[in-house]
Amino acid sequence: MAREDWISVAEFSGPLPARIVAVRLTAEGVPHRVVGNVWPRRDPTTWIWVPPEWRERAQQILAEPAMSEDELTKLALSYPPPDDQ
């Protein structure tokens, strides 16, 4: 599929927030590209693009709230620590 066929599902103020959010798509197996502006110093706007057939799934994932810090802590503490040997 040609790059110009992919569509934007999210827009960010810069590449770092876009890359952080893109990790969620990676974890769910959604193909994507993080695409920055041609002149990033003038306009750091960055987009996440997906193939058209993945648009709906990507939007569902991005609409779901990320886990809070408390939820992550609870999850981490719910497993026993590894044995130090």
Q: Answer yes or no: is pLDDT of 84 > 70.
A: no
pLDDT for the residue numbered 39: 72
Q: Report pLDDT digits (tens) over 7-59.
A: 999 999 888 889 988 999 999 999 999 998 767 677 789 999 999 999 999 99
CA atoms within 13 A on the CB side of 19: 4
- Indicate the Cα dihedral angle 24, 13, 65, 23, nearest 10°: 10
Q: Which domains does the chain show, CATH number per domain?
A: 3-77 (3.30.70)
pTM score: 0.70
Q: Answer yes or no: is pLDDT of 3 > 80.
A: no
